[in-house]
Chain A
């Protein structure tokens, strides 16, 4: 069994429909957890709110543990999962740019759309900025193309490229995540609480 669409259990045509429902659910949960607040998102950089860090670490740990258990029990074929290709320098440069945008604007692209949906003005400006960025990138694509297309390492994972045992990677990752939660809590208790 599984993954459901590549495995042929759900026809490919349902792909976009399922994606829309998952997208709506994702947006709802983001908004309900306060992720449409730029202060909450920027808080992780300034050290007064670690919700983002906790949420994403928890999501990663829960899904990776769940996926590997399902793979072990035969409900899911891990080799059929899509692995996003690694464009090394593109990812590094893009990561820096996105990080800078994240800390200055207080949104990541996904949460900015959430905030647009509830009518936040700063989010409108942020999304406009994204569009300007997209425009500049498209216009200067010839210039950026060597970085954009180059350094493609294919659909690799840490486990493939270093030959690590996935179970140890997961175990160590989980310990790092739980430690991060603990440290984040300690930091939060030490600093003066920020009202927003």
Chain B
């Protein structure tokens, strides 16, 4: 009972000790964005990659639902890139201007680089931040070149599907301006330059006004 007579002193002391405890807590960096488990499940999902054939088909059919993002440096982008791609070098990935393209849920974003290395890094960073509809071009521009631009002719022992694929790819490559000796084009097919897409950014939901008082 003696103990209880000092109860206000004890309660006051507990408050001060708890508040002081906050000061002594070791500092740690708070995790931003999605949790590691979610990141892992996204990373191993097969939907993460999109094949060169699919992208080629989308470009030819002028599918408006995606944005191609070239994450290589500006010089490589100017040398060669896919039609209608925008250039966001990896170092500028988190710039304000880039985020308007990446942080939206209107379009599928397809990252690509020479192989998948830089594109995967870009994908990982953006996924971590919780951006939606992110994809990586499987194999990058190297695979693009060996499958779409310069497809290898299947030999006779191969199944029919390979031949079909080859003719599709060959037709696609002609769309991208490759001339074949057996075709009678005078010059490269001109690809019409298109204006970059207008991207609608996601607006953060406004907080509801709370009213309070005593």
Structural contact, B22 and A178, CB atoms closer than 8 A? no
Closest to B20 in A: A171
Q: Hey, which bits of chain A sit against chain B, CB under 8 A?
A: 56, 58, 61-62, 65, 68-69, 72, 82, 84, 108-111, 155, 167-168, 170-171, 173-175, 177-178, 181-182, 185
Residues of B within 8 A of A111 (CB): 214
B202 at the interface (CB under 8 A from A): no
B16 at the interface (CB under 8 A from A): yes
Q: What are 22 A-B contacts with C-beta separation under 8 Å? A: A65-B18, A65-B19, A69-B18, A72-B25, A82-B207, A82-B210, A84-B210, A108-B213, A108-B214, A155-B207, A167-B23, A170-B22, A171-B16, A171-B20, A174-B19, A175-B16, A177-B15, A178-B15, A178-B16, A181-B8, A181-B12, A185-B8
Residues of A within 8 A of B25 (CB): 72, 167
| Contact residues of B between 13 and 30, Cβ < 8 Å to A | 15-16, 18-20, 22-23, 25
Residues of B within 8 A of A173 (CB): 19
* Chain B contact residues, majority secondary structure: helix
Closest to B17 in A: A174
Q: Hey, which bits of chain B sit against chain A, CB under 8 A?
A: 8, 12, 15-16, 18-20, 22-23, 25, 207, 210, 212-214
Residues of A within 8 A of B22 (CB): 65, 68-69, 72, 167, 170-171
Structural contact, A110 and B16, CB atoms closer than 8 A? no
Most chain-A Cβ atoms within 10 A of its Cβ — which of B18, B212, B213? B18
Closest to A56 in B: B214
